Amino acid sequence: MSRTPPPIAFSRPRAGEQPPYLHEPYGSTIKRAPRRPPVPLPHTLSEVTGPNFAGDWAGVHTTDLTRPGGKGEAQGQRIIVAGQLLDEDGKPIPRSLVELWQCNAAGRYLHDGDVHDAPLDPNFTGYGRLMTNDQGEYRFLTIKPGAYPWRNTHNAWRPAHIHFSLFGNAFATRLITQMYFPGDPLLATDPIYNSVPDQSARRRLISDYDAALSEAEYALGYRFDIVLRGRTATPMEQ
């Protein structure tokens, strides 16, 4: 009688491949990083279930950020951001909710808490969402975000970036990360990007320019694959 082969061991990330809770150059972590051991909380129905992703609330109207509501067009350089959601073995993760949010081309968010002296764009909300397809793929049309000052230190500017939120089939499975752009000189001094100690792991946060993804005379293409766990996992915010 044949025996079931033992399960493949989980490949845990190596030390330094994920950001720590406390990274002193990133000022706000000093206040919010836990100082005491975590207290385990038992999962209830609220944590082990998730939102109902059925319906038309995630579709074309939420993947094209350049024309919200079919009205005027957003200002700035159009870009296509696409990639795959993958597990630790490189297998695609289908039917998973991907959300993104970002500032506009001038470096300002559509948010009451953003007091940066830069113009708002009436045709840009900076928010999109979709469900990955059967191959775990996602694709957004958006505007390249601008850099902005953030008062972490004197004359501190955040490099251009896009926030990603990734949902599994339960609320407790949400992961958040950021995507950066190749060749940005602000990466060298950004404490959030550099809170990941391992250089090769930090590189996973930078998208790749993809000429095949670009559309001639219309939009540049950037590819950003996201690996959820394992030795090649994309660094996630703690």
Average pLDDT by consecutive 10-residue portion of the chain (238 residues)? 63 81 90 89 80 62 83 94 94 93 97 92 94 95 97 94 89 90 98 95 97 97 95 90
> Can you give the CATH number for the domain in which 127 is found?
2.60.130.10
Is 148 catalytic? The answer is yes
Burial of 36 (0-12, 13-18, 19+ CB in 10 A): exposed
Indicate which residue of 26, 138, 148, 222 is catalytic. Answer: 148
User: Does 129 map to a domain?
Assistant: yes
User: How open is the CA angle 84-88-91, to the nearest 5 degrees?
Assistant: 50
Secondary structure element (H or E) that encloses residue 100, with its range? strand 97-101
Domains contained in the chain, number: 1
Give the torsion through C-alpha atoms of 213, 220, 108, 171, to 10 deg: 0
User: Does 176 map to a domain?
Assistant: yes
pLDDT for the residue 221: 98
Indicate which residue of 67, 116, 163, 229 is catalytic. Answer: 163
Range of the structural domain that residue 64 is part of? 55-111+118-228
The token pair that represents 149 in the structure block:
């000052």
Q: Which residue has the tokens 């296509």?
A: 80
User: Does 1 map to a domain?
Assistant: no
pLDDT for the residue 203: 97
Is 154 catalytic? The answer is no
Secondary structure element (H or E) that encloses residue 142, with its range? strand 137-143
Phi, psi of 58 (to 5 degrees): -125, 105
User: Does 41 map to a domain?
Assistant: no
Interatomic CA distance for residues 212 and 219, integer angstroms: 11
pLDDT for the residue 43: 84
Average pLDDT, the chain: 89
From residue 155, give the alpha-carbon distance in Å to each of 151, 158, 189, 231.
Answer: 7, 10, 11, 35
Indicate which residue of 23, 108, 129, 161 is catalytic. Answer: 161
Is 109 catalytic? The answer is yes
User: Does 145 map to a domain?
Assistant: yes
Is 161 catalytic? The answer is yes
User: Does 48 map to a domain?
Assistant: no
Contact 227, 87 (CB under 8 A): yes
Indicate which residue of 109, 138, 193, 222 is catalytic. Answer: 109
User: Does 84 map to a domain?
Assistant: yes
The residues, ordered by sequence, that sit 6+ positions from 125 with a Cβ below 8 Å of its Cβ are: 65, 68, 110
Exposure b/e, 198-214, CB count within 10 A at least 16 = b: eeebbebbbbeebeebb
Contact 30, 20 (CB under 8 A): no
Secondary structure element (H or E) that encloses residue 47, with its range? helix 45-48
Interatomic CA distance for residues 94 and 128, integer angstroms: 18
User: Does 130 map to a domain?
Assistant: yes
Indicate which residue of 78, 108, 129, 158 is catalytic. Answer: 158
Interatomic CA distance for residues 209 and 41, integer angstroms: 42
pLDDT for the residue 4: 67
Contact 129, 169 (CB under 8 A): no
Contact 174, 236 (CB under 8 A): no
